[in-house]
Amino acid sequence: MAASDPHRNMGNEGCKGQGDKDPQGRRDARMHRSMSLSTGAAVAAAVAALVTALLLLWCEDAGPGAGSSSMAETEALPKLREDFRMQNKSVFILGASGETGRALLKEILEQSLFSKVTVIGRRKLTFDEEAYKNVNQEVVDFEKLDDYASAFQGHDVGFCCLGTTKAKAGAEGFVRVDRDYVLKSAELAKAGGCKHFNLLSSKGADKSSSFFYLQVKGEVEDRVGELKFDRYSIFRPGILLCDRQESRPAEWLVRKFFGSIPASWARGHSVPVVKVCRAMLNNAVRPSSKEKEVLDNMAIHSLGKADAS
């Protein structure tokens, strides 16, 4: 028996008898139209992703990367990590269900940098590996974050990897997640005693940008900065390269695009997720007197090239 059409409206439910001489043909036609719409949406998303990649090739970051590392700093990292571990600091991660947040959590556990690790998210995550057994999980409702202020208390360091896309959540949903949720979380973290807040942003982020995505990213950067954390680190990677658990054909196309251009160009405008995570942690363990620092894509490459030890 052919599957019923989920898009069939109520008015057609009573039309099976009179005048419907070829119901199978009509169902096939509707299925064909549905498949055409799905294919069209996928193509549109792929084009949009490619345009974004081209735009990032054109965009320039504001100012030099603050976090580029010298050879001496790279060689000093093992000692810096050990000194950091001795401070028994607590950390929270926002967005650990996403690709970057998941990779960051894995790096944090492998390096054993913090005495307490907390994941804050809208649902409880399932971990099978033994290394995750001591990870604390705080389940919150991002629409009512004030009710979960306790989840943000007592952390020395915070990493915010929250984010979605306009294609996935719509313009309103994108702003709610990438601006409103991030800002409210930062406010609660500041009130809870967080000293060092790390924000995953985007290459080209600028509140005055004519490109909506970069405008929102730039706006939230500035508004979090107004909270005056003791240390505020902004990471502006280009296109994030990873093998997502969820299927995103558009991002597959972008990865192919960057794989076809000269390596020097690709390095300037894309970066593997694992390298971003290592840069975040390598930056966190090294002392800094700067209240605010912005690490661009090249700085992330430089700082993230050192493996954990």
Q: Could you read off the pLDDT of 213-246 as tens digits, one per residue?
A: 999 999 999 999 999 999 999 999 998 887 555 5
Catalytic: which of 89, 203, 217, 275?
Answer: 217
Catalytic: which of 213, 228, 275, 290?
Answer: 213
d(CA 152, CA 144): 13
CB 240 within 8 A of CB 99: yes
Residue 213 annotated in active site: yes
pLDDT computed for residue 30 by the predictor: 58
Query: Has residue 196 got a pLDDT over 70?
Result: yes
Mean pLDDT of all residues belonging to the chain: 81
pLDDT computed for residue 297 by the predictor: 94
Query: Which residues, other chains included, contact 199 with Cβ-Cβ below 8 Å and sequence gap of 6+?
Result: 160, 182, 186, 220, 221, 224, 232, 233, 234, 235
Query: Which residues, other chains included, contact 165 with Cβ-Cβ below 8 Å and sequence gap of 6+?
Result: 174
Query: Has residue 90 got a pLDDT over 90?
Result: yes
Residues 140-194 pLDDT 10s: 999 999 999 999 999 999 999 999 988 888 999 999 999 999 999 999 999 999 9
pLDDT computed for residue 265 by the predictor: 56
Residue 217 annotated in active site: yes
